[in-house]
């Protein structure tokens, strides 16, 4: 996939910062973030979750640092983590300083909770000296009361003003390695706030709908907000905030970037028709079985499961690999070209086998190895299906004749 050929709006140019080894902003790929739900003092449990998040596409992981035991845990977690670690700081300046001592690669400060200017500047100065970036994490649910009152609520303007004031404190100590988020649980407010932030700041923006909730609603809300902004060219890094296993956050973030063409495909992309009366097999069952079998292999491939041999291969010709079901048989195709005809009970097995070979050998090699009699078999199946179901299912010829008689008076 050529991610430079995206039909989306051109990406807004921002400053670039480095969260450990991960670049954020500028021309760097949009990164995926998530947050652990374990107690940070539980080093082994937290590391296990971090590795699971990284395996599902998380580029950066955030851990809470709310007590001394958490900071001590970070000191052991950071050197063993496969991805950069950001410490989440809410109320205690001491925890921000302790997290820096632990070696974290980033901090997230909530300006609505850590409010004393001298403490904010102290943390910024320490971060500056260590080369550690800070995210100004504005949240509609924790705005400073003065800002909330001045703007009459958690409006987009109030969220951006909170970030602007925090940034001013950072400027006083010559600290500029900053990314900004202006999150809200209202999708409409979130979108408006980020649009305003993109006009106000040249710092990279971290996208998210906060407190989106459990699946499937939380996934829909997160996607509605994040995808809208990405399509407009706004955003440099993102997090889905779901009431679920955080692995779902990482998986959703990575998948969204892949389907928008903003990151190279890392794993499986399975597409399937919704099924209809023409289907000769249980498309939903086969699609789920194929998804489960192929997901375990984690192959970077697009696979199609289609319920109709008449239209299936043509409708999914862009897929790397696919199968279209006919009567007791399946037509296996690569880039729309039939390569093999298999029995119905072998369709999922055939998909898995061919997927492995495509990844190992390449599309052209597998097309060259196709069964040259398969296309003729497939054409015979299509003709039979049309004959059985009736090509003129709407009795169009009879209707046309009646239309002509009516028109002639």
Question: pLDDT band at 295, cuts 50/70/90?
Answer: confident
Looking at the whole model, is its pTM more than 0.95? no
Candidates 186, 139, 188, 145; CA nearest to 159 is 139
pLDDT tens for residues 3-40?
444 579 999 999 999 999 999 999 999 999 999 999 99
Query: CA 266, CA 319: separation in Å to the nearest integer?
Result: 15
pLDDT bracket for residue 390 (50, 70, 90): low
Does residue 139 contact residue 113 with C-beta atoms inside 8 Å?
Answer: no
Contacts of 371 (CB under 8 A, 6+ apart): 339, 340, 341
The confidence score (pLDDT) of residue 395 equals 55
User: Exposed/middle/buried for 225, CB within 10 Å: 0-12, 13-18, 19+?
Assistant: buried
Q: Give start-end residues of each CATH 3.30.413.10 domain in the chain.
A: 269-389
CA distance 220 to 30: 20
Residue 28 pLDDT: 98
In the DSSP assignment, the letter for residue 16 is: E
How many CB atoms lie under 10 A from the CB of residue 247?
17
Q: In this model, does residue 273 exceed pLDDT 80?
A: yes
What does the DSSP 8-state code read for residue 356? H
What is the fold of 269-389? Answer: Sulfite Reductase Hemoprotein; domain 1 (3.30.413)
Rounded mean pLDDT of the chain?
91
3-259: which CATH architecture?
Answer: Alpha-Beta Barrel (3.20)
**Residue 145 confidence (pLDDT):** 94
Burial class (CB in 10 A: 0-12, 13-18, 19+), 139: buried
Token pair, residue 101, equals 């001592």
Greater pLDDT, 314 or 360 = 360
Region(s) of the chain under CATH 3.20.20.20: 3-259
pLDDT in tens, 127-173: 999 999 999 999 999 999 999 999 999 999 999 999 999 999 999 99
Residue 335 CA to residue 364 CA, distance in Å, equals: 10
State mean pLDDT over 272-279. Answer: 76
Q: Is 103 left (phi over 0), alpha (psi -120 to 50) or beta?
A: left
Token pair for residue 168?
A: 């001013």
Between CA 41 and CA 64 the distance in angstroms is 10
Q: Report the distance separating Cα 354 and Cα 312, nearest Å.
A: 18
């Amino acid at each position: 996939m050529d991610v430079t050929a995206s039909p989306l709006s051109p990406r807004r140019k921002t400053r670039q910062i480095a969260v450990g080894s991960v670049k954020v902003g500028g021309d760097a790929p949009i990164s995926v973030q998530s947050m652990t739900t374990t107690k940070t003092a539980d080093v082994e449990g937290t590391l296990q979750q971090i590795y699971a998040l990284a395996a599902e596409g998380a580029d950066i992981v955030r851990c809470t640092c709310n007590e001394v035991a958490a900071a001590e845990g970070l000191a052991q977690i950071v050197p063993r983590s496969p991805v950069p670690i950001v410490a989440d700081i809410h109320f205690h300046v001491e925890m921000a300083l302790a997290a820096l001592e632990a070696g974290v690669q980033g901090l997230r400060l909530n300006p609505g909770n850590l409010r004393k200017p001298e403490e904010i500047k102290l943390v910024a100065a320490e971060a500056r000296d260590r080369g550690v970036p800070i995210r100004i994490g504005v949240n509609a649910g924790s705005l400073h009361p003065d800002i909330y009152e001045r703007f009459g609520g958690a409006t987009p303007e109030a969220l951006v003003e909170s970030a602007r004031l925090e940034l001013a404190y950072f400027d006083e100590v010559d600290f500029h390695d900053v990314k900004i988020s202006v999150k809200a649980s209202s999708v409409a407010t979130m979108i408006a706030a980020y649009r305003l932030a993109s006009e106000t700041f040249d710092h990279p923006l971290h996208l998210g709908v906060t407190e989106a909730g459990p699946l499937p609603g939380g996934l829909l809300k997160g996607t509605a907000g994040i995808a809208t902004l990405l399509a407009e060219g706004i955003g440099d890094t993102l997090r889905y905030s779901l009431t679920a296993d955080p692995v779902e956050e990482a998986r959703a973030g990575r998948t969204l970037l892949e389907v928008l063409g903003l990151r190279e495909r890392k794993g499986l992309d399975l597409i399937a028709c919704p099924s209809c009366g023409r289907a000769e097999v249980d498309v939903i069952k086969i699609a789920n079985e194929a998804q489960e079998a192929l997901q375990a292999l984690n192959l970077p491939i697009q696979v199609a499961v289609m319920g109709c041999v008449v239209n299936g291969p043509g409708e999914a010709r862009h897929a790397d690999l696919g199968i279209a079901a006919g009567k007791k048989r399946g037509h296996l195709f690569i880039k729309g070209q039939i390569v093999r005809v298999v029995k119905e009970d072998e369709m999922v097995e055939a998909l898995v086998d061919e997927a492995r070979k495509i990844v190992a050998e390449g599309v052209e090699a597998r097309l060259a190895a196709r069964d040259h009699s398969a296309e003729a078999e497939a054409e015979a199946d299509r003709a039979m299906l049309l004959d059985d179901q009736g090509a003129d299912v709407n009795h169009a010829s009879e209707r046309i004749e009646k239309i002509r008689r009516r028109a002639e008076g």
